[in-house]
């Protein structure tokens, strides 16, 4: 394995050239997916007993396969929650891979985990969680939410042995991300969804708890509030929710996977008042903190509770916990054992650019949303559905039906121009298909927005 031949060196240089080109590219192509049958007919067999050779495989990647993937950082990719990793972070993602680090335990990954922890300290400081709070990087928001609710349930069961026999119950709102409902299913818990068109308010939560049957109340172990809904950037009444959770002694989890980036800005930080009272918080650096995939994060007020819930035992793991190996072990605090040091690209980018640059880039996302809102308000063929929330803008093309939005999305993508997708919005009980922008990429311009709006005329 260790005999490096000249072909491999050349291949590495080719790969590096490709990476340099991609990292410095300012105008990536939008691209379109192809069917699996089309891709297969273009590539032929790639996995064979003798191998097809690195050169051929790489050529297929460049000529065919990468062209069937949408670059998530395209400045006119404004659908879902796009991403825009800094060039520094992408570059350091290569270094992370090349360094071959096992990021589970300090014994093996100390230097990398140290860097992750530096970045984590900054994240924790944004939340205002009390002294002792800490967290770890996960594969994304779904894994972070799951790690948090497993910890919450474990804590609840530790309080009273009779809870071990009970199926858990979680309360959240209809604005919560789909992963919250999916993860409740994973842990076989029930979920009460409070129907909200705007923010979930503390008094609505209180009322819902009061209306639970006694048996259901005894199963309730967590409330999941959202710090920036995926659809519209709405922040729940975190202060009110925190008060209810405190008085009812229920775990409060805040899913700020998307919105967490806005904690950096003095303008939007007050909207998150109450987040510092949470028991756990999800923030995804691969969304609005410019990290490459995959990088989520889960933060705990009391990390010891997470350790109790997640630490794995095994004779082969004992050495990691020995005094001689003493240090922080990220695997003890979330669901995954073997892990990449996925916080490392974030650390490098933060260290290189400084946190002020992050603030500027995040505020630019919100400025783009405000400017898009103004442009929409001034145009006759479109109108705002609600005022922009964080960096999300919901708007309608007057007179369009669901199929018009769908055709428009595919048309823009087929033209290699933009990826902007519709969503649904419920107002006064009526559900409507609308268009949505989500701004993450600071390289998006007002001109891009103008051109996209023109495609709706
Ligand atoms: C609020 C929120 N929570 C959780 C998730 C899930 O995160 P991931 O896709 O990283 O698992 C998302 C994804 O968009 C989200 O917006």
Q: Please, is 324 exposed, middle or buried when counting C-beta atoms within 10 Å of its C-beta (0-12, 13-18, 19+)?
A: exposed
Residue 130 falls inside a structural domain: yes
Asked whether 140 lines ligand 1 (CB < 6 A), one says yes
Convert the pLDDT of each residue in 205-232 to its tens digit: 999 999 999 999 999 999 999 999 999 9
Residue 367: per-residue pLDDT: 98
Examine the domain organization and report whether 219 and 114 are in the same domain: yes
**Which residues lie across from 300 on neighbouring strands?**
134, 280
User: Looking at the structure, do residues 398 and 268 belong to the same domain, yes or no?
Assistant: no
Q: Whose CA is nearest to atom 6 of ligand 1?
A: 141
Answer whether 253 contacts ligand 1 (Cβ < 6 A). no
CATH code for the domain in which residue 422 is found: 3.90.1150.170
Summarize pLDDT for 39-85 with one digit per residue, the tens. Answer: 999 999 999 999 999 999 999 999 999 999 999 999 999 999 999 99
Note every long-range contact of 422-425, with CB atoms under 8 Å and residues 24 or more positions apart, other chains counting: 423/231, 423/394, 425/231, 425/232, 425/385, 425/386, 425/394
Structural domain of residue 431, as residue ranges?
Answer: 355-454
CA of 127 to the centre of ligand 1 (A): 18
Q: Is the residue at 42 inside a domain? A: no
Q: Where are the alpha helices (DSSP H) in 379-425?
A: 402-414
368 and 346 within one domain: no
Asked whether residue 122 carries a pLDDT value surpassing 80, the answer given is yes
- Shared-domain flag, residues 112 and 261: yes
- Statement to judge: residues 142 and 213 lie in one domain: yes
Tokens at residue 96, please?
């992370």
Q: Is 82 in the pocket of ligand 1 (CB under 6 A)?
A: no
Per-residue DSSP letter, 70: -
| Last residue in a domain, options 286, 318, 353 | 353
Q: Six-digit token pair at 192?
A: 């009460």
Q: What does the block give as tokens for 170?
A: 């979680």
Average pLDDT value for residue range 100-121: 97
Q: Name the nearest CA neighbour of 311 among 331, 340, 294.
A: 331
For the cut 60, the answer to whether the pLDDT of residue 1 exceeds it is no
253 C-alpha to center of ligand 1: Å?
Answer: 14
146 and 265 housed in the same domain: yes
Q: Residues 6 or more apart from 23 whose CB is under 8 A from it?
A: 87, 90, 91
CATH code, domain carrying 326: 3.40.640.10
Whether residue 294 is found in the same domain as residue 408: no
Domain assignment of residue 46, yes or no: no
Percentage of residues in the chain with pLDDT exceeding 70? 99
Dist. CA 256 → ligand 1 center (Å): 9
Model confidence at 326, in pLDDT bands (50, 70, 90)? confident
Q: What is the average per-residue pLDDT within 178-196?
A: 97
Share of the chain above pLDDT 90, in %: 96
The residue from 353, 373, 396 where one domain ends is: 353
Taking residues 307-316, what's their average pLDDT? 96
145 Cα to the center of ligand 1, angstroms: 9
325 with 223, same domain?
yes
pLDDT at 304 over 90: yes
* Per-residue pLDDT tens digits for 338-397: 999 999 999 999 999 999 999 999 999 999 999 999 999 999 999 999 999 999 999 999
Residue-level pLDDT at 2: 62
Same domain, 405 and 279: no
Q: Is any atom of ligand 1 closer than 6 Å to the C-beta of 284? A: yes
For 434-444, what is the mean pLDDT? Answer: 98
Mean pLDDT of 250-264: 98
Nearest CA to ligand 1 atom 5: 141
Whether the CB of 231 sits within 6 Å of ligand 1: no
Looking at the predicted structure, is the pLDDT value of residue 436 above 90? yes
Tell me which of 331, 353, 375 is where a domain ends: 353
Q: What's the mean per-residue pLDDT of the chain?
A: 97
Domain identity same for 311 and 370: no
Residue 12 lies in a domain: no
- Joined tokens for residue 229: 């809904």
- Asked if residue 340 and residue 410 are part of one domain, the reply reads no
Q: Is the pLDDT of residue 24 over 70?
A: yes
Report the pLDDT averaged over residues 313-335.
92
Q: What's CA 198's distance to the chain center, in Å?
A: 21
Q: What is the reported pTM?
A: 0.97
- Please say whether the beta carbons of 334 and 106 come within 8 A: no
Query: What residues contact residue 49 under an 8 Å CB cut-off, 6+ apart?
Result: none
Domain tally, the chain: 2
Same domain, yes or no, for 206 and 292?
Answer: yes
Q: Is residue 402 part of a domain?
A: yes
């Amino acid at each position: 394995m260790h005999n490096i031949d000249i072909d491999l060196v050349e291949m590495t240089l080719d790969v590096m050239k490709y990476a340099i080109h991609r990292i410095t590219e300012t105008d990536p192509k939008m691209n379109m997916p192809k069917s699996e049958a089309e891709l297969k007919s273009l590539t032929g067999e790639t996995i064979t007993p003798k191998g097809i050779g690195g050169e051929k495989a790489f050529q297929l990647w460049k000529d065919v396969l990468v062209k069937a993937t949408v670059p998530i950082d395209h400045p006119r990719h404004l659908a879902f929650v796009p991403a825009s990793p800094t060039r520094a972070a992408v570059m350091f993602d290569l270094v992370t891979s090349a360094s071959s680090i096992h990021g589970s335990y300090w014994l093996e990954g100390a230097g990398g985990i140290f860097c992750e922890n530096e970045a984590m300290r900054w994240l924790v400081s944004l939340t205002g969680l009390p002294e002792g709070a800490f967290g770890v990087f996960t594969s994304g928001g779904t894994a972070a939410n799951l790690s948090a609710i497993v910890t919450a349930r474990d804590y609840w069961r530790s309080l009273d042995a009779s809870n071990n026999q009970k199926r858990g119950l979680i309360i959240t709102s209809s604005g919560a991300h789909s992963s919250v409902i999916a993860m409740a299913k994973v842990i076989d818990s029930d979920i009460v969804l409070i129907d909200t068109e705007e923010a979930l308010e503390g008094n609505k939560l209180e009322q819902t708890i009061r209306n639970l049957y006694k048996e259901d109340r005894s199963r309730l172990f967590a409330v999941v509030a959202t710090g920036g809904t995926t659809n519209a950037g709405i922040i729940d009444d975190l202060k009110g929710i925190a008060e209810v959770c405190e008085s009812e002694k229920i775990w409060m989890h805040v899913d700020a996977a998307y919105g967490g980036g806005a904690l950096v800005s003095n303008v939007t930080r007050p909207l998150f008042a109450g987040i510092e009272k949470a028991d756990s918080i999800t923030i995804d650096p691969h969304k609005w903190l410019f990290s490459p995939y995959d990088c989520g994060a889960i933060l705990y007020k009391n990390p010891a509770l997470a350790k109790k819930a997640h630490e794995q035992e095994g004779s082969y793991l004992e050495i990691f916990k020995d005094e001689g190996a003493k240090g922080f072990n990220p695997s003890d605090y979330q669901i995954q054992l073997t892990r990449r040091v996925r916080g490392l690209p974030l650390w490098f980018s933060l260290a290189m650019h400084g946190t002020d640059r992050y603030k500027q880039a995040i505020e630019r996302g919100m400025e783009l949303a405000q400017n898009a809102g103004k442009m929409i308000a001034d145009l006759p063929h479109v109108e705002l559905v609600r005022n922009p929330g964080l960096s999300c803008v919901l708007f309608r093309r007057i007179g369009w039906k669901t199929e018009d939005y769908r055709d428009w999305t595919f048309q823009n993508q087929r033209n290699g121009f933009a990826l902007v997708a519709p969503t649904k919005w419920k107002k006064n009980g009526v559900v409507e298909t609308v268009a949505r922008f989500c701004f993450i990429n600071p390289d998006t311009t007002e001109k891009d927005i103008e051109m996209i709006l023109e495609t709706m005329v």
